[in-house]
Amino acid sequence: MIESTWRLLSTVVLVLFVLLITVSGYSSKRRVLVPNFLPTKTNVTVHMGELAVLQCKIRNLGPKQVSWRKVSLDYPLTVGTLLFDPQEELSVDHKKLRGMVTQYNLIIKRAQPRHSGKYECQISATNIHTHHVYLTVLDSPLHIEPAISIRGTEYVSRYEEIRLDCNATGAVRAPDDIDWFHNGHMIVKDDLRWRGRIKVSKYKPEVPGRSLISHLIIEYSLLSDGGRYVCRSSDLETVSMDVNVLNTPVKDLPKREKDTVSRSTSRMDRPNGSSASSRTLCNTSILIILLTLSSLVTR
């Protein structure tokens, strides 16, 4: 009787112990999955016309929804990545980061003083969680001096690629255009000396929106490509850089490129455009004249 009672008590204790571990693990798991905001900047100040980024980073968001609202308004600005208030300058930067972190940043392009105020990033859950950010938009635009910079290939072996990058920034907006010059002459892609071996591209980055970037690529260089390259913006800002082309032999060029290089070298690198055929013709003419003179002297 006593032995059976001990067995029963042991079984009960074991069951209770298993239940305790299960409930404890479940509770721990529940605590870990509770969403919480990570520390980010809570006071943002920008000049009028600048980009304002209000950060909101959440760990363990799970299936819950995130919304942004301005405290002074009685409706949300965004729900998830959708704009509840369709304003052209508003957008949401949504990313999933490492460590079960989710980012929902509110982006305000070309911020104006009317955008100033208190904003909150809100998690929809049984208990509402909020993260507040204060935005101040100064009523004066940020003054930026026009600037221009150039970087790229300084030394290159003949027939290798030359690559130059030019970044021009305007005071109020991006420059309209960028021109390239080589030794004082404007580079034109359709020019005979550049045709078929040069690429020029231009683009404006979305942020900060005042820059125009141009890439100049010479796919294979000639000795005559050495010299000073100048990048000039439409704001008449200029910057220069010297490129040195070293006289080294062709290595492992495809036949098509070798043929093109050979024709270009004959046209560009030889003085006065002389060629083997013209030298042969000249030598033949001299020989005929000498034979004629020798025949007259013999008579």
| Residue 225 · residue 161 · CB < 8 Å | no
Give me the mean pLDDT over the 201-208 stretch: 77
Report CA-CA distances (Å) from 112 to 41, 81, 119, 170.
20, 22, 15, 20
d(CA 185, CA 77): 54
Higher pLDDT, 224 or 32: 224
Would the pLDDT of 135 be above 50?
yes
Contacts of 136 (CB under 8 A, 6+ apart): 43, 44, 45, 46, 116
What is the domain partition of the chain in residue ranges?
36-141, 147-249
Higher pLDDT, 292 or 56: 56
Please give the pLDDT value at position 27. Answer: 47
Percent of the chain with pLDDT over 70: 70
Tokens of 194: 């550049």
pTM (two decimals): 0.46
Please give the pLDDT value at position 148. Answer: 92
Would the pLDDT of 13 be above 90?
no
Give me the mean pLDDT over the 210-216 stretch: 91
Percent of the chain with pLDDT over 90: 42
Question: Tell me, what amino acid is at 52?
Answer: A
pLDDT, tens digit (0-9, with 9 covering 90-100), for 145-182 = 788 999 999 999 999 999 999 999 887 778 889 999 99
The CATH architecture one would assign to domain 147-249 is Sandwich (2.60)
pLDDT, tens digit (0-9, with 9 covering 90-100), for 34-50 = 888 999 999 999 998 88
CATH topology of domain 36-141: Immunoglobulin-like (2.60.40)
Q: Predicted confidence band at 265 (pLDDT cuts at 50, 70, 90)?
A: very low
Fold match flag (36-141 vs 147-249): yes
Contacts of 81 (CB under 8 A, 6+ apart): 92, 94
Give me the mean pLDDT over the 262-291 stretch: 47
